[in-house]
Amino acid sequence: MRAKELRSLTDAELRARLEDAYRELFVLRQDWFMNRLQDNNRITAAKREIARIKTILRERELARMMQEATG
């Protein structure tokens, strides 16, 4: 999912997607370790999705902090 699409989600939805992405990464790593993984690029894609979600959550957190400090 693109960052633009992720930004339209609420914080709760993002946290749920983050949890799902971590689960997916765990399963992919298990499959890789057991030599059952067909596409190694899926691990990289899962890591990038996690990074995107965490970045958006952090941006929102910083925006809230700045607003509290100025408001």
Q: How many domains does the chain contain in total?
A: 1
pLDDT in tens, 14-53: 999 999 999 999 999 999 999 999 999 999 999 999 999 9
Structural domain of 28:
3-70
- pLDDT of 71 higher than 90: no
pLDDT at 31: 97
Kindly report the CATH number assigned to the domain that includes residue 38: 1.10.287.310
Q: Is residue 64 very low, low, confident or very high in pLDDT (cuts 50, 70, 90)?
A: very high
Burial 7-37 (b: 16+ CB within 10 A, else e): eeeeeeebeebbeebeebbeebeebeeeeeb
